[in-house]
Amino acid sequence: MSNQATGNRHQSTDPPVGAHIVRPPEAPVPVILRETAYGKLNLTLDVLGKRPDGYHDLEMVMCSVALSDELELTLGTGEAWSVVCDRMDLPQNEGNLCWKAARAYFDAAGLDPAGLRIALRKAIPAQAGMAGGSADAAAVLRALNRHYGLFSPEALREIGLRVGSDVPYCLFGGMALARGRGELLSRLPALPKGLCFVLAKPEFSVSTPALFRQLDAVGVTQRPDTPAMLRALEAGNAAEIGRQLANAFEPAVAADYPVVEQIRRVLLAKGALGARLTGTGSVVFGLFDDEDAARAAAAALAPLCPQAWTVAPVDN
């Protein structure tokens, strides 16, 4: 008995020679990607008409600005997809445009990231006409494509268009002329050096579909002179750029929300070269060629709106 017990204690635990060893699959190694999402302004916005597919043909001069969100994507978490955001009033599930952008990318690529977490730190205001959600979606697409390298810029913008009409521009960035739904993009000269913007966010939001319906019913009453704006940009004429700022939606929005015109008057009185609504609002912006004057204007807006920023344009 004692000899048998002793023999068992020294028995080898190595598998037989030639045996097939089954090892548990290795957990994916998480990869962290970081990206910045810049807000946009409409220096001009024209609504040319409604299309048979229900969308509207637009013509817009667009500019990126240095009011930005920060994103961190973690691939290979081994867990269900999640979105976390420091703004609790924004969707933190599949309703978030970041989630939709990631889904569109992986569907187009035929890939599974083995778990995804998107962390979003917001600075671009919501419901402001600055394409905050679309900018975040574009940042997700940029980060993923930088990692995987599967799509050309044109193909990536096609994926972005499935997520939202502003996403292609947010991928393109900088100074651009946007046509169609916003996906037909042409590069424009950068703004002259030394210009900056004051952004003012009054406490209201507007229904974009309702505004389009209103324009369909009554027509456009304030149409930008887009060729004149393009000439001003080509010439680098800051004063003329300010004069040519225009937004087809502004009269309708200002009629319902008089604070829009009040903000414009303050900005112009404080030295803005021009001041307009961006998108369908509610942000009103002023273009300045003096940063000190811009900061003074932002401070003067405090009685009218709780949020104002002085920001630089983002170059092409």
| pLDDT mean over 212-226 | 93
Taking only the tens place, the pLDDT of each residue in 70-91 is 999 999 999 999 999 999 888 8
Separation of alpha carbons 113 and 75, rounded Å:
6
Given the residues 122, 166, 201, 270, select the one marked as catalytic: 166
Comparing 31 with 10, which gets the higher pLDDT? Answer: 31
The yes-or-no answer on residue 40 being catalytic is: yes
Comparing 63 with 18, which gets the higher pLDDT? Answer: 63
Structural domains of the chain, ranges and CATH numbers in brackets: 31-187 (3.30.230.10), 196-311 (3.30.70.890)
Could you tell me where the DSSP H helices lie in the chain?
2-9, 97-109, 132-148, 153-163, 167-172, 208-218, 226-235, 238-243, 250-256, 259-269, 291-300
Residue type, 112: D
Question: Would you state the structure tokens that stand for residue 9, as one six-digit string?
Answer: 């204690």
pLDDT at 11 over 60: no
Using an 8 Å Cβ cutoff, are 43 and 229 in contact?
Answer: yes
- What does pLDDT average to over the chain? 93
Given the residues 40, 100, 122, 201, select the one marked as catalytic: 40
pLDDT at 251 over 50: yes
Taking only the tens place, the pLDDT of each residue in 111-150 is 999 999 999 999 999 999 999 999 999 999 999 999 999 9
The yes-or-no answer on residue 201 being catalytic is: no
